[in-house]
Amino acid sequence: MFDAGRIAAFSHQETPFYFYDITLLQETLDTAKRAADEYNFRVHYALKANFNDRVLHAVCRTGFGADCVSGNEVKKAVEIGFKPSEIVFAGVGKSDKEITYALDQNIFAFNVESVQELRIIDAIAGDRGKKANVALRINPNVDAQTHHYITTGLDENKFGIAQWELGEAIETLRQCRHIELIGIHFHVGSQITDLNVFKSLCIKVNELNNWFDERGFRLHVLNVGGGLGVDYHQPDATPIPDFRAYFAIFANFLERKPGQEVHFELGRALVSQSGSLISRVLYVKNGIKKNFLILDAGMTELMRPALYQAYHQIERLGQIETASEPIHYDVVGPICESSDCFGKEVLLPKSERGDLIAIRTTGAYGEVMASRYNLRNEIRYVYSDEI
């Protein structure tokens, strides 16, 4: 992925920066779109994974809709050019202002996460003389088999309407005159690599689809969320996730009723592998117990390792001196936190001040989770077709 020409181009850049491989991004998007189209599935890209303008333009041009989690994300999606009729809005804490804004934009649907939220949307829609499309986000209590911080579909999680509340939800819906129930929505977690999790989800969706049908609600949409994981350990071996296998699970196990559409909300799987965080070694500290590589990027640029102990492949770019043995380094940033560490005991070629380091698979939940802690600079980025 990082050939000599590219590395030479990096060496003139101010670091740290996010590097986006636009060719890989487009190939990934095209592969996913083709796989989804085979079954007539509709994908709304989850903006929360990466809302960089270049990324969003590519996603929009490829023909995906947008899944948003804040009023600002809805605004961003509209500005980029996503059709309002292809924008959905989820989130456990939508403010009145955000609901009003999204209603005024005539978005496709609100994925509603509580009975109380149903009443609020109904009231705001009534005041504005509108009818809001809603899908109920149901917590199916399906274990996503992922890191406990990024699982979202268990009873202990704050997301969605619990199954025991569904009776109250449909009673409320019957009273709401400014709401149209169009479907049901699920999202059980992120970075899911065991496809059996999605089979279990399908079984739950089928049960609930029947439950609504028996009560006279004809659902138009089954939205099964996102969550497909990527290979953080071997980014070059699997640069594009197996979208065909993923969609095939839903094609095989989901029981659609006549006219029902299936919607998805993929984020990570569409953008992760096309991003890398590129930084420089500032200092090398050789200790008795440890060797440290101190980079000019830190948890302020990439928070995942500090937040979830997430693994990212770390590579030293450029010429490797074959005469020296590789060395184990703790690769750390400059931030005043001990958790500001990208990897412990990482085996790398002997490195020195000025060397370029790539932290891979950072196209999703990288740039978007950056912070200004320690009054750090704004994030910089470099696109493959501009160098």
Ligand X SMILES: Cc1ncc(COP(=O)(O)O)c(C=O)c1O
Ligand Y SMILES: N[C@@H](CCCC[NH3+])C(=O)O
Question: Applying CB under 6 A, which part among 79-87, 238-246, 266-274, 320-328 lies near ligand X?
Answer: 266-274
Q: Answer yes or no whether residue 114 interacts with ligand Y by CB under 6 A.
A: no
67 binds, among ligand Y, ligand X, none (CB under 5 to 8 A by kind): ligand X
Residue with Cβ nearer ligand X (90 or 346) = 90
Q: Answer yes or no whether residue 224 interacts with ligand Y by CB under 6 A.
A: no
Active site residues: 336
Q: Answer yes or no whether residue 150 interacts with ligand Y by CB under 6 A.
A: yes
Q: Answer yes or no whether residue 190 interacts with ligand Y by CB under 6 A.
A: yes
Q: Report whether 103 contacts 130 (CB < 8 A).
A: yes
Strands 261-264 and 42-46: parallel
Residue with Cβ nearer ligand X (342 or 365) = 365
Residue with Cβ nearer ligand X (42 or 280) = 42
Residue 119 in tokens: 């009443």
Q: Of these, 35, 58, 87, 90, which contacts ligand X (CB under 6 A)?
A: 90
d(CA 262, CA 249): 12
205 binds, among ligand Y, ligand X, none (CB under 5 to 8 A by kind): none
Residue with Cβ nearer ligand X (69 or 295) = 69
d(CA 146, CA 352): 36
- Contact letters for ligand X, residues 131-160 (x by CB under 6 A): ---------------------x--------
Residue 365, annotated as binding a ligand = yes
d(CA 99, CA 105): 10
Residue with Cβ nearer ligand Y (48 or 185) = 48
134 binds, among ligand Y, ligand X, none (CB under 5 to 8 A by kind): none
Q: Report whether 146 contacts 232 (CB < 8 A).
A: no
Number of residues that bind ligand Y (CB under 6 A): 6
Q: Answer yes or no whether residue 73 interacts with ligand X by CB under 6 A.
A: no
Which residues lie below 8 Å from residue 303, measured CB to CB, with a gap of 6+? 369, 370, 371
Question: Applying CB under 6 A, which part among 55-63, 172-180, 226-234, 352-360 lies near ligand X?
Answer: 226-234
290 half-sphere exposure, CB direction, 13 A CA radius: 11
Residue 267, annotated as binding a ligand = yes
Q: Taking the complex as a whole, how short is the minimal distance between the CB of residue 160 and ligand X, in angstroms?
A: 9
How many CB atoms are located within 10 Å of the residue 17 CB?
A: 19
d(CA 206, CA 253): 9
Q: Answer yes or no whether residue 273 interacts with ligand Y by CB under 6 A.
A: no
Binders in 284-323 for ligand Y, by CB under 6 A: 304
Strands 275-286 and 314-317: unpaired
304 binds, among ligand Y, ligand X, none (CB under 5 to 8 A by kind): ligand Y
Number of residues that bind ligand X (CB under 6 A): 18
335 binds, among ligand Y, ligand X, none (CB under 5 to 8 A by kind): none
How many CB atoms are located within 10 Å of the residue 193 CB?
A: 15
- Contact letters for ligand Y, residues 19-58 (x by CB under 6 A): -----------------------------x----------
Q: Answer yes or no whether residue 204 interacts with ligand Y by CB under 6 A.
A: no
Any idea which residue has 């992760």 for tokens?
272
Q: Taking the complex as a whole, how short is the minimal distance between the CB of residue 36 and ligand Y, in angstroms?
A: 20
Catalogue the E-assigned strands of the chain: 17-20, 42-46, 65-68, 87-89, 109-112, 132-139, 161-162, 179-185, 221-223, 261-264, 275-286, 291-295, 314-317, 327-332, 341-348, 356-359, 381-383
Q: Report whether 28 contacts 273 (CB < 8 A).
A: yes
CA–CA distances in Å: residue 340 to residues 316, 334, 353, 360? 19, 8, 19, 17
Q: Of these, 111, 139, 151, 191, which contacts ligand Y (CB under 6 A)?
A: 191
Q: Report whether 368 contacts 51 (CB < 8 A).
A: yes
Closest CA to 224 of 167, 165, 152, 272: 152
Interface residues with ligand X (CB under 6 A) are 46, 48-49, 67, 90, 152, 187, 190, 225-228, 265-269, 364
Write out the binding residues for substrate: 268, 304, 308, 337, 365
Interface residues with ligand Y (CB under 6 A) are 48, 150, 190-191, 304, 365
